[in-house]
Amino acid sequence: MAEKSSTKSLTTPEGEKNGAQADLLTLDYNNLTHGAIGDEGLTEAELNTMKKALTSAYKQFEAARTKGLLPFTELPSNTLIPKMCRKLADNYRQKIEAVVVLGIGGSALGANAVYSALRSTNHSASKADKRQWPRLLIADNIDPEGFGALLDGIDPSKTFFNVISKSGATAETMSQFMVIHDKLQRTLGRTSIKDHLLITTDPQNGVLRKIVNANDYLSMEVPPGVGGRFTVFSSVGLAPLAMVGVSVYDLLAGAKKAQEDFSKPVLANKALMFAGLNWLFTTLKNKGTLVMMPYAEALSKVADWFLQLWNESLGKALHLDGSPAGTGQTAVKAVGVTDQHSQLQMYMEGPRDKSICFLGVEKFRGEVAIPKVFKDYEELSYLGGHSLGELLNFERQGTARALAENGRPNMTLTMPKVGAGTLGYLLQTLMLATVISGTLYEVNPLDQPGVELGKKFTYGLMGRSGFSDMSERYRKGLSNKSRYIIL
Amino acid sequence: MAEKSSTKSLTTPEGEKNGAQADLLTLDYNNLTHGAIGDEGLTEAELNTMKKALTSAYKQFEAARTKGLLPFTELPSNTLIPKMCRKLADNYRQKIEAVVVLGIGGSALGANAVYSALRSTNHSASKADKRQWPRLLIADNIDPEGFGALLDGIDPSKTFFNVISKSGATAETMSQFMVIHDKLQRTLGRTSIKDHLLITTDPQNGVLRKIVNANDYLSMEVPPGVGGRFTVFSSVGLAPLAMVGVSVYDLLAGAKKAQEDFSKPVLANKALMFAGLNWLFTTLKNKGTLVMMPYAEALSKVADWFLQLWNESLGKALHLDGSPAGTGQTAVKAVGVTDQHSQLQMYMEGPRDKSICFLGVEKFRGEVAIPKVFKDYEELSYLGGHSLGELLNFERQGTARALAENGRPNMTLTMPKVGAGTLGYLLQTLMLATVISGTLYEVNPLDQPGVELGKKFTYGLMGRSGFSDMSERYRKGLSNKSRYIIL
């Protein structure tokens, strides 16, 4: 189990010897400095400018937080929600084989990131152990082939569905819900639906809340004022994670430590510095792209979670004062070592429009020794006696150094080991950094107005009443000259 | 099976009625034009400039091809290799449960893309059918947790390993090979290794060829002059795909059709136009990022394959004449509809540095109907009666249109259906487009010099003899001032 093997020391991370924070996350930005990468590197003057901007952003953040405007910061200290989730898990643990999350975007990415990161530990547990907890399936797309395969692969009577949508109007999630509701009703009968369903939605508003009230379905709340991409430590993330055996207490303990560390002075503050450095390289040094590159397969979905957080928060048309912005740094994902054989050439020699953030792990939860075979071949003999984890980390270090020698800025976040506590710390740190970034770019990091127009066109095309003007607008404005279509 | 259900009409695609090409791929670039996106849109004058550049690039391509310098163009017509692969598949089909590819980058991405795309069809086959063919596992990373789990999950006596490395010196693949070779020797005995191993490497050179010769191992050839990212239709891609039941003949028939269509006039030539349009938007309109965004989960790994192809080919420090370049357009991946709830905000409102290429599918291989439930709720009732596939495609169209209205350039590649033939056509078209792009950017699209430095540092750190200067250089130049490290 995740909580057993990976987070032993994290149940009370505050209590650790000689600096718990060193055990949770390290930010190394040597390869952003003038000394390492030359001309484009960070100078002392720039560092000072950044420090001032961060001090001011931090003050604004704290003022908003004190007014209760940033409730995501309070989630790590909440004790009621994890308890409820834990109880839910205990109630269902023996009855079900799978938990299926019907959700998309922020309703899916947090649980997926944490589960994927901790799953490999689950795998390495003994088979008897493994069966103690259900598996988690995240239905975050409406692809009929994929969703169809998911439906074919589950037994409804042994499956628990967690429908997650704050508004209740998310077309993708609600379509899935309609399919599942119908299927449960036909296979298990109307009254049994209740035993297989948790609806996580707004406490007051929206159609899902209406459905909960009308049918007396089990429900939890998306906390008001917390947007999807900041909900991983609310019931949105914690309920499904608890149900598949993730230690939500350890996860929150790590997040809480990150929240506490956020009060540290600027130059010792990982969240502030992550925000400040990336903002500075975007605005002063034209690094419009931030590559998030974990060197651990377990952290691949953490990068996906981060991409939504960063891109949806910072890509904004307008500044807070209403003036045109068009800001943001586009986060993209790569995975080491694999993408050294795919993306690295572009990062090394292509346009100087990128900064790389490596996400490393000091110690892996399992190792594979490279045996001392083929000793007579010089091209291979050096590998024997090392381990795959060693090779992976040497490759990360070698790549970081090669990029730096080529004047390509990069930084490294290092976790001691993947576990619930270290993940909690990492995720909360990145959420804090994202909100601070919003202040630096002078945009609202908590909204996402740009996605509405596409939704409205979809409503129009689907024939939703009240949106016929959108289908009209779609058809009238459609540029589909056949000379620009090649068959 | 893939070949049964998805490519019925493609066994002899040349023979189809009323224009086979319309059945294989459509390129719609209306949303790149001035009429659709305004100021930044393509004008007629630009289209003419591009046409001239493409005509010239095509001539250079054909000259090189006639001299035998572009052997990847000949792979679709090769009849010997698919026959050999098919025979291999027939020999092993009943004896094994899994094929494991040990390979990275171009040695893994092609087979992974095709297999992932066709796998869902395999899944939907009856269980008896499914068991006729082994499953494919791609070991394209050295993460010890991931590779360890892979090892734990297979039975060596029922597994076939295909080691793929042109040079034989790839540290990642060779480490895996050493682990596997040792494991096979210990579990099955020295003489049985031969029955579980295929080595795909250079016909003459490298340590893997030496090992093949010394041990009389089964081997195939990476064709000389074909770099990793262009090898999907060589034995590199075809052997593992054939072994898991993909119709390599259908795949090649589609690729062959794409190669034939490459002789069409510029404005009717999908490969040329894909190259020309993206080059023009990069160089004239600062779209340094190309988002490849399939609206079909089955095509997710095709996007990964494309990212390597595009980025490794075009991200170059030097022009062909040796002058500084720093060119290229960085391809990144998004998956619809999921990433509408993650990346779309950035694409709509963030910096105007992107062009989007949607990759759509007209018809899915399976559908899920949305039942007419919750009729009393206006927010949901419009969904009932549609299907998930319809919703997915409306979302793609709505998103494309919303981006266009916001002045954000996008184009759409549409496949009628995912199948071996349509995939073959798509992949060959994109490879042709990539080589043409190299000519347009005036760089060599066939090399990847930028990845060498990182490799050398790794050799140094691993203690490979002859590379102690690199470990020395690493340590001496390492910028690790503690003031730039936050614990």
CB A95 within 8 A of CB A158: yes
* CB proximity B453 to A under 8 Å: yes
Which chain A residues touch B104 with a CB distance below 8 Å? 337-338, 341
Residue B119 has what pLDDT? Answer: 81
Task: State the smallest CA–CA distance between residue B93 and chain A in angstroms.
Answer: 25
Q: Which of B341, B375, B476, B481 does the annotation list as catalytic?
A: B341
Identify the DSSP state of A340. Answer: G
- What percentage of chain B's residues is helix, strand, coil (to nearest 5)? 55, 10, 30
* CB proximity B378 to A under 8 Å: yes
Question: How far from A290 is each of A64, A307, A328, B54, CA to CA, in Å?
Answer: 27, 9, 10, 32
Count Cβ neighbours within 10 Å for each residue of B131-142 and write b for 16 or more, e otherwise: eebbbbbbbbbb
Which chain B residues touch A457 with a CB distance below 8 Å? 394, 397-399, 401-402
Q: How far apart are CA B75 and CA B95, in angstroms?
A: 29
Count Cβ neighbours within 10 Å for each residue of B284-322 and write b for 16 or more, e otherwise: ebebbbbbbbbbbbbbbbbbbbbbbbbbbbbbbbbeeee
* CB proximity A342 to B under 8 Å: yes
Average pLDDT score, chain A? 92
Searching chain A, which residue's CA lies closest to the CA of residue B22?
A487
Per-residue pLDDT for A78 more than 60? yes
Residue A128 has what pLDDT? Answer: 46
- Residue A210 pairs in a beta bridge with none
Which of B178, B338, B484 has its CB closest to that of A30?
Answer: B484
Which chain B residues touch A392 with a CB distance below 8 Å? 142-144
Strand ranges of the sheet holding A218-221, from the earlier edge strand across to the other edge: A135-139, A98-102, A159-164, A197-201, A218-221
Nearest Cα to A211, choosing from B382, B386, B376?
A: B376
Residue A122 has what pLDDT? Answer: 44
Residue A175 has what pLDDT? Answer: 98
Contact call for A341 and B144, based on CB within 8 A: no
Residue B351 has what pLDDT? Answer: 98
Per-residue pLDDT for A332 more than 70? yes
pLDDT band at residue A120 under the 50/70/90 scheme: low
Contact call for A315 and B31, based on CB within 8 A: no
Let me know if B405 is a catalytic residue. Answer: no
pLDDT band at residue A8 under the 50/70/90 scheme: very low
Residue A478 has what pLDDT? Answer: 83
Structural domains of chain B, ranges and CATH numbers in brackets: 2-65+251-441 (3.40.50.10490), 72-249 (3.40.50.10490)
* CB proximity B265 to A under 8 Å: no
* Strand segments (E) across B15-96: 26-28
Q: Which of A376, A446, A447, A458 to probe by mutation at the B interface, max B CB count within 10 Å?
A: A458
Contact call for B465 and A398, based on CB within 8 A: no
Contact call for B486 and A270, based on CB within 8 A: yes
The residues of A assigned a catalytic role are: 312, 341, 455
Q: How far apart are CA A343 and CA A345, in angstroms?
A: 6
Q: How far apart are CA A356 and CA B451, in angstroms?
A: 15
Which chain B residues touch A403 with a CB distance below 8 Å? 454
Let me know if B260 is a catalytic residue. Answer: no
In sequence order, the 6+-apart residues with CB closer than 8 A to the CB of B134 are B92, B93, B96, B97, B98, B99, B160, B243, B244
* CB proximity B314 to A under 8 Å: yes
Q: Which of B312, B316, B354, B417 does the annotation list as catalytic?
A: B312
Which of A168, A288, A398 has its CB closest to that of B353?
Answer: A288
pTM flag (> 0.90): yes
* CB proximity B376 to A under 8 Å: no
Does residue A487 or residue B120 have the better pLDDT? A487
* CB proximity A174 to B under 8 Å: yes
Please state the rounded mean pLDDT for residues A426-442: 98
* Strand segments (E) across A215-311: 218-221, 289-294
Identify the DSSP state of B155. Answer: -
Task: State the smallest CA–CA distance between residue B345 and chain A in angstroms.
Answer: 5
CB contacts under 8 A, A 454-483 vs B, are 454-466, 474, 477-481, 483
Which of B371, B384, B401 has its CB closest to that of A474?
Answer: B401
Searching chain A, which residue's CA lies closest to the CA of residue B368?
A144
Per-residue pLDDT for A9 more than 60? no
* CB proximity B23 to A under 8 Å: no
Nearest Cα to B414, choosing from B22, B3, B9?
A: B22
Q: What is the pLDDT of residues A62-76, one digit of tens each?
A: 999 999 999 999 999
Do strands B26-28 and B159-164 pair parallel, antiparallel, or not at all (unpaired)?
unpaired
Contact call for B366 and A144, based on CB within 8 A: yes
Residue A126 has what pLDDT? Answer: 43
Q: Which of B130, B319, B333, B455 does the annotation list as catalytic?
A: B455
Contact call for A144 and B311, based on CB within 8 A: no
Contact call for B141 and A297, based on CB within 8 A: yes
CB B406 within 8 A of CB B346: no
Q: What is the pLDDT of residues A126-172, one digit of tens each?
A: 444 455 799 999 999 999 999 999 999 999 999 999 999 999 999 99
Contact call for B484 and A346, based on CB within 8 A: no
Question: How far from A122 is each of A10, A133, A134, A246, A366, CA to CA, in Å?
Answer: 18, 9, 11, 9, 12
Please state the rounded mean pLDDT for residues A439-463: 97
**For each of chain B's 487 residues, which pLDDT tens digit applies?**
333 333 333 333 223 333 344 489 999 999 999 999 999 999 999 999 999 999 999 999 999 999 999 999 999 999 999 999 999 999 999 999 999 999 999 999 999 999 999 986 544 344 444 557 999 999 999 999 999 999 999 999 999 999 999 999 999 999 999 999 999 999 999 999 999 999 999 999 999 999 999 999 999 999 999 999 999 999 999 999 999 999 999 999 999 999 999 999 999 999 999 999 999 999 999 999 999 999 999 999 999 999 999 999 999 999 999 999 998 999 999 999 999 999 999 999 999 999 999 999 999 999 999 999 999 999 999 999 999 999 999 999 999 999 999 999 999 999 999 999 999 999 999 999 999 999 999 999 999 999 999 999 999 999 999 999 999 999 988 877 889 999 9
Contact call for B349 and A335, based on CB within 8 A: no
Searching chain A, which residue's CA lies closest to the CA of residue B124?
A149
- State the complex-level ipTM: 0.94
CB A136 within 8 A of CB A115: yes
* CB proximity B192 to A under 8 Å: no
Q: Is the peptide bond before B266 cis (omega within 30 degrees of 0)?
A: no
* CB proximity A15 to B under 8 Å: no
CB A341 within 8 A of CB B311: no
Residue B125 has what pLDDT? Answer: 42
